[in-house]
Amino acid sequence: MAILPITIYGDKILRKTAKPINTVDDEIITIIQNMFLTMRNANGIGLAGNQVGLDKQIFVIDVSPVEEYEHIKPIVMINPKIIKQSDEKIIMEEGCLSLPELRVDIERAENIIVKYLSPAEQEEEIEASGLFARVILHEYDHLIGKMIPDRVNDEERKKMQDLLMLISDREVECEYPITDKKEFIA
């Protein structure tokens, strides 16, 4: 297993819509293992495929280190689809491994239903709420090319502009490996 470098704001792959996974083979299983290792090494609770340079619809989540979520087992979602989102919204501070040092209040649905494939290629459907739902929605955003700056108003986005430039220029402190300065959005 290997810790992978994390793509950060400015890397083109973070703005692409990820492609579906057709078959879960040994390569995908190895990637899943590496993604969990990479996420935990960075003290994260969610990580999408494009955050490690993989243009595939997959993410891993482990919210069990968070108080009140210890009972939720680590999960892998392949080709996820958000089926339903509650009208009830909550605002919570979010961070992102691809946006080191940035923390912003984001409004998201309190409850969701999501369909996905498991690594055993079984179709699953679960209901999630609170932080668990928020992490699923955050990682799903990555798969459709969205990031935290897309979820805030213009005023908030202007406030974070300097930090976003520092992140894309790799001029922020990072406790985990990140990609080299290379592929940026024009």
Active site residue 68: no
The one-digit pLDDT tens for each residue of the chain (186 residues) are 899 999 999 999 999 999 999 999 999 999 999 999 999 999 999 999 999 999 999 999 999 999 999 999 999 999 999 999 999 999 999 999 999 999 999 999 999 999 999 999 999 999 999 999 999 999 999 999 999 999 999 999 999 999 999 999 999 999 999 998 755 443
Architecture per CATH, 12-168: Alpha-Beta Complex (3.90)
Catalytic residue among 139, 155, 175, 183: 139
SS3 of residue 106 by DSSP: strand
- Count the Cβ atoms, other than its own, within 10 Å of residue 136: 25
10 Å CB burial of residue 57 (0-12, 13-18, 19+) is buried
The full set of domain ranges for the chain reads 12-168
